[in-house]
C-alpha cells in the first residue's frame, strides 16, 4: 500500500458515502488490469462496500490482448484497465473491447481523453514534465527547447523507446511533423549528459548529483519523491528539483499519457462494468487517484495533493490522445533512426 494511504482515512470514508450507487445483489464484476493491484485496490474495496458488487481483480503484467483473444467468448473479463494510451488503443484496435456509452462519464471526461462512442475512457493523467535543478533560473519551457544547443551536456532522460517518451515523440510528430521531430530528436541526443537510460526518478537523482541540469519525467514521480520519508534518497532527489510543465510551440498544452479502461468485448456483466467505470470517475475516487498515487485527475475540481498542486495548473494538450497514439510506430522508428539510445 502506498505510504500516502494512512493519511487518507477521511477520503476512504467519503468514498463509502458520497455516491448513491444502487445495490446489485449477488453481482460481481471482473477486472483485468496491467496496473499493480495495490494501487487501485483501495478504490475497488470502497466500491464493493458501497455497491455490494464484488470486484474480481486479475493482474496481467504482459500479453493482455493475447489473453483476452485466446479466451474468446468464454472470457470472464468485464473491464480492461491499462497504463499508457497506446496499450489501451491496442486493445480497442485488436477487437478486445466494445463501446459502452455513458452520459455520466462523458460529462466528466473531456472529449480528447475518451474514445468515440464510449470505446474507452481515461481515468487519470500522467503529465510529461521538465525536472530542473531547483536553483536554476527557469520558470517556463517548451518541449522544443530541449534541443537548444545551450543545454548541451545538461540533459538527462530515460530510453527514447520507453512508452513515456515514444508517446511524447508521437505528440511532437502530431504537432510539428516528422521532419521537425527528427531534427529535434537529434538535437536532444546531442544535448544528453549521459546515455538515455534508467528511469524517471534517475533524472532527479542525476540532477542532484550534478550530472545534468534538466530532464524529462512524469510529474507523479516527483509527487512520490517529494512526499517520501525525510532523509531518504528519494526525498533528497525530490528536494533537488523543481517541476515545470512544458508546452508545445504549436499549442498551449502539456503532453499527457493516461491510465484508462474499456469494457471487454464479451463482458458477462457489461452493466456492472459501466457502473464501476462511472464510480472511478466520481469525485471521491478521483481524489484518491490524486492524493494517493499523485496522478492528475481527469475530473475537474478535484483536490490535489499539496505537492502536486504546487507544480501549478495543468493545461492539457488539446490533441486527442488517441490521435497522438496513431504516431507511436513512426515515433519508435525515428528514435531508432537517430540512434537516440546508443
**Closest CA relative to residue 66, chosen from 56, 54, 75:** 75
pLDDT digits (tens, 9 = 90+) for 12-67: 444 444 444 444 444 899 999 998 877 788 889 989 998 999 999 999 989 999 99
CB 275 within 8 A of CB 169: no
Sequence ranges of the domains in the chain: 5-125+256-303, 126-254+315-337
The stretch 313-336 carries a mean pLDDT of 95
Structural domain 5-125+256-303, CATH architecture: 3-Layer(aba) Sandwich (3.40)
Residue 189 has pLDDT above 80, yes or no: yes
pLDDT of residue 209: 98
Instruction: State yes or no: 294 annotated in a binding site.
Output: no
Instruction: State yes or no: 47 annotated in a binding site.
Output: no
Mean pLDDT, the chain, whole residue set = 92
- Give the pLDDT band (50/70/90) at residue 7: low
**Closest CA relative to residue 68, chosen from 114, 33, 36:** 33
Residue 4 has pLDDT above 80, yes or no: no
pLDDT digits (tens, 9 = 90+) for 273-301: 999 999 999 998 999 888 888 999 999 99
Q: Rounded to whole angstroms, how far apart are CA atoms 212 and 339?
A: 20
126-254+315-337 CATH fold? D-Maltodextrin-Binding Protein; domain 2 (3.40.190)
pLDDT of residue 12: 47
**Closest CA relative to residue 185, chosen from 148, 142, 147, 143:** 147
pLDDT of residue 17: 44
For the chain, give the percent of residues with pLDDT over 70: 92
How far from 12 is each of 5, 30, 201, CA to CA, in Å?
A: 9, 22, 29
This prediction's pTM: 0.88
Amino acid at each position: 500500500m502506498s505510504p500516502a494511504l494512512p493519511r487518507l482515512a477521511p477520503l476512504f470514508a467519503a468514498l463509502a458515502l458520497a455516491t448513491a450507487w444502487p445495490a446489485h445483489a449477488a453481482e460481481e464484476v471482473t477486472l483485468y488490469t496491467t496496473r499493480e493491484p495495490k494501487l487501485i485496490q483501495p478504490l475497488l474495496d470502497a466500491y464493493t462496500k458501497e455497491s455490494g458488487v464484488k470486484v474480481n481483480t486479475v493482474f496481467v503484467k504482459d500479453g493482455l490482448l493475447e489473453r483476452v483473444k485466446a479466451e474468446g467468448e468464454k472470457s470472464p473479463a468485464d473491464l480492461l484497465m491499462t497504463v499508457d494510451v497506446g496499450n489501451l488503443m491496442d486493445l480497442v484496435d485488436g477487437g478486445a473491447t466494445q463501446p459502452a456509452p455513458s452520459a455520466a462519464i462523458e460529462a466528466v471526461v473531456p472529449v480528447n481523453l475518451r474514445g468515440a462512442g464510449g470505446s474507452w475512457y481515461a481515468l487519470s493523467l500522467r503529465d510529461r514534465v521538465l525536472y530542473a535543478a531547483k536553483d536554476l533560473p527557469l520558470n517556463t519551457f517548451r518541449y522544443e527547447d530541449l534541443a537548444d544547443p545551450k543545454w548541451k551536456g545538461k540533459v538527462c532522460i530515460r530510453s527514447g523507446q520507453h512508452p513515456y517518451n515514444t508517446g511524447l515523440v508521437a505528440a511532437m510528430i502530431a504537432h510539428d511533423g516528422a521532419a521537425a521531430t527528427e531534427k529535434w530528436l537529434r538535437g536532444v541526443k546531442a544535448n544528453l549528459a549521459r546515455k538515455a537510460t534508467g528511469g524517471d526518478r534517475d533524472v532527479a537523482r542525476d540532477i542532484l548529483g550534478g550530472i545534468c541540469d534538466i530532464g524529462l519525467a512524469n510529474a507523479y514521480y516527483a509527487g512520490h519523491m517529494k512526499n517520501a520519508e525525510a532523509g531518504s534518497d528519494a526525498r533528497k532527489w525530490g528536494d533537488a528539483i523543481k517541476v515545470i510543465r512544458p508546452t508545445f510551440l504549436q499549442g498551449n498544452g502539456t503532453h499527457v499519457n493516461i491510465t484508462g479502461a474499456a469494457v471487454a468485448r464479451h463482458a458477462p456483466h457489461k452493466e456492472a462494468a459501466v457502473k464501476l467505470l462511472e464510480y472511478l470517475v466520481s469525485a471521491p475516487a478521483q481524489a484518491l487517484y490524486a492524493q494517493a498515487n499523485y496522478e492528475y485527475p481527469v475530473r475537474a475540481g478535484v483536490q490535489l495533493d499539496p505537492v502536486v498542486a504546487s507544480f501549478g495548473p495543468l493545461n492539457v494538450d488539446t490533441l486527442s490522445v488517441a490521435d497522438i497514439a496513431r504516431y507511436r510506430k513512426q515515433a519508435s522508428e525515428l528514435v531508432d533512426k537517430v540512434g537516440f539510445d546508443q
